[in-house]
Amino acid sequence: AHHEDFFTRAVIITIVKAIVLLIGAALFWRLAVFHTTRRYFEAKADGAVPPAEETSGMEKLMRPI
């Protein structure tokens, strides 16, 4: 009985940790997208976004077509 309780507790702890990590990853992604779009639109408002600029993967995802 003791080992079954330990296994159940370990599974629950693992699930809770996975949920917390997923929430953290989602919040980090939202923050990264927010700052990338904010910088892009600030530069666009200043007229400082050259069309032939080599961009990173994140900026390619965020650039409107």
Q: What is the DSSP string of 13-60?
A: HHHHHHHHHHHHHHHHHHHHHHHHHHHHHHHHHTT---TT----HHHH
Per-residue pLDDT of the chain (65 residues; tens, 9 = 90+): 667 899 999 999 999 999 999 999 999 999 999 998 998 888 888 877 666 556 677 777 777 65
Give residue 54's pLDDT: 63
Give residue 17's pLDDT: 98
Give residue 57's pLDDT: 74
Domain ranges of the chain: 25-65
The SS3 of residue 10 is helix
Give residue 48's pLDDT: 72
Give residue 4's pLDDT: 84
Q: Which of 57, 28, 61, 63 is nearest to 44 (CA)?
A: 63
Region label for 47, one of left (φ > 0), alpha (ψ between -120 and 50) or beta (otherwise): left
